[in-house]
Amino acid sequence: MQILDGQLVSRNIKDSLKLDVAALVAEGRKIPHLAAVLVGNNGASETYVAAKVKACSEIGFKSTLLRVEDSVTENKLLSLIQDLNNDPDVNGILVQLPLPKHISDEKVILAIDPAKDVDGFHPVNAGKLVLGSPGFVSATPHGIMLLLEYYKVETIGKAAAVVGRSNIVGRPMSILLSANNSHGNSTVTLCHSHTRNLKEICLGSDIIVAALGKPGFVKADMVKEGAVIIDVGITRVPDAGKKSGFALRGDVDFAAVSPKCSFITPVPGGVGPMTIAALMKNTFAACVNQN
Ligand code: GUN
């Protein structure tokens, strides 16, 4: 069994982007600028956004963190996004999800200029992904593909089960793995809460992507020998032994499943750092496209 080390691969990608930024500077060109919008103070969102801002500073990108009160009106948030769309210095915009209940995710995502939508959530970018046209690919599935490519994990002709059909992870992941290219061409089953024979589908799969947000859901008896396991889950569970009071748990029962696998991502240190690396790659591309 080999660990798919997201920490290591993410570091490599960020080191390479650092050189790319240095080259832009040497040519007197504009450096990438990411604007991150954080609404309220959800603990997990705070952590994710802080990691994104930190990655920008490590690489040499400019970043702006815009903190907005939980009570912000939808119109106010939409007008903030409009300002960022119109600001020629800003290349990438991300609004951290989830948003408070009184704000429509859909309206907010639609308001972002697709050319600055480095999260790849806008329907224009989601549509391009489906059609196989160049566009921004949602950072988590994009990061997973980069990880599979780095470790030369074969996908062509493989049976893949993607468990979870979210717009952010499961659905785009199913499209990427089934795309007609050298790191796709898998036969994908997209599983969800109404899937009847989930265990049998997983048992028949060479690749399982677990993205349903249920800690320890994928058990050893659902996994065949030699499978590739990608664990997207990252749930905070109470842990009195930790200073923070919580531990992070993936969607896969790592201790029981890992001995059966050919490759597996750990939690933390697998998909999480790759999401950040992919976001940084998208932001760099946005800047180059715009200048
Ligand atoms: N919430 C969970 N994952 C993500 C992500 O990739 N981007 C944003 N903006 N919000 C998220």
Distances in Å between the Cα of 110 and the Cα atoms of 81, 93, 114, 126, 202 are 10, 12, 8, 11, 35
Q: Residue with structure tokens 């997207």?
A: 232
85, two tokens = 């769309």
- The answer as to whether 286 is a domain residue is no
**DSSP secondary structure letters along 193-213:** TT-S-HHHHHHT-SEEEE-S-
Give me the pLDDT at residue 181, please.
Answer: 93
How does residue 73 score in pLDDT terms, banded at 50, 70 and 90? very high
If you compute the radius of gyration of the chain from its CA atoms, what whole number of angstroms results? Answer: 19
Nearest CA residue ID for atom 6, ligand 1:
139
160 and 101 share one domain: no
Average pLDDT, the chain: 97
Neighbours of 131 (CB within 10 A): 8
Q: What does pTM read for this prediction?
A: 0.97
Cβ 174 under 6 angstroms from ligand 1: no
Give me the pLDDT at residue 71, please.
Answer: 97
267, two tokens = 């939690």
When pLDDT is averaged across residues 256-270 and rounded to a whole number, the result is: 98
Give me the pLDDT at residue 264, please.
Answer: 98
C-alpha 20 – ligand 1 centre gap (Å): 25
Which one, of 289, 190, 280, lies nearest residue 10 by Cα? 280
178 and 267 share one domain: yes
Residue 157 belongs to domain with CATH number: 3.40.50.720
Note whether 82 and 66 are within 8 A (CB). no
Number of domains composing the chain: 2
Give me the pLDDT at residue 170, please.
Answer: 98
Strands 62-68 and 33-39: parallel
214 and 266 share one domain: yes
Taking the CA atoms of 265, 266, 267 and 268 in sequence, report the sign of the dihedral they define.
Answer: negative
Instruction: Mark whether 87 is an active-site residue.
Output: no
Cβ 282 under 6 angstroms from ligand 1: no
Which 8-state DSSP code applies to residue 261? -
Q: For residue range 84-96, what is the model confidence (pLDDT) as tens digits?
A: 999 999 999 999 9
Strands 235-238 and 246-249: antiparallel
- The answer as to whether 98 is a domain residue is yes
Give CA–CA dist 188/286, Å, rounded.
30
Give me the pLDDT at residue 79, please.
Answer: 98
Give CA–CA dist 188/46, Å, rounded.
34
Which one, of 136, 147, 143, lies nearest residue 228 by Cα? 147
182 and 245 share one domain: yes
C-alpha 121 – ligand 1 centre gap (Å): 9
Give me the pLDDT at residue 139, please.
Answer: 97
Which one, of 227, 232, 165, 161, lies nearest residue 200 by Cα? 161
Give me the pLDDT at residue 6, please.
Answer: 98
Which one, of 210, 200, 201, lies nearest residue 231 by Cα? 210
Cβ 186 under 6 angstroms from ligand 1: no
Cβ 140 under 6 angstroms from ligand 1: yes
Distances in Å between the Cα of 219 and the Cα atoms of 149, 230, 233 are 26, 13, 14
165 and 98 share one domain: no
How does residue 167 score in pLDDT terms, banded at 50, 70 and 90? very high
Q: Which of 5, 119, 206, 251 is catalytic?
A: 119
Neighbours of 125 (CB within 10 A): 24
Least trusted range by pLDDT, from 18-22, 242-246, 252-256: 242-246
- The domain of 84 spans 28-113
Strands 159-163 and 207-210: parallel
- The answer as to whether 11 is a domain residue is no
103 and 151 share one domain: no
Give me the pLDDT at residue 221, please.
Answer: 98
Phi-psi region of 26 (alpha: psi -120 to 50; beta: other; left: phi over 0): alpha
Q: For residue range 143-155, what is the model confidence (pLDDT) as tens digits?
A: 999 999 999 999 9
How does residue 53 score in pLDDT terms, banded at 50, 70 and 90? very high
Q: Which atom of ligand 1 is nearest to the CA of 94?
A: 9
Note whether 99 and 72 are within 8 A (CB). no
3 alpha carbon, distance to own chain's centre: 19
Nearest CA residue ID for atom 8, ligand 1:
96
Cβ 97 under 6 angstroms from ligand 1: yes
Give me the pLDDT at residue 128, please.
Answer: 98
106 and 192 share one domain: no
Nearest CA residue ID for atom 3, ligand 1:
97
Q: For residue range 186-238, what is the model confidence (pLDDT) as tens digits?
A: 999 999 999 999 999 999 999 999 999 999 999 999 999 999 999 999 999 99
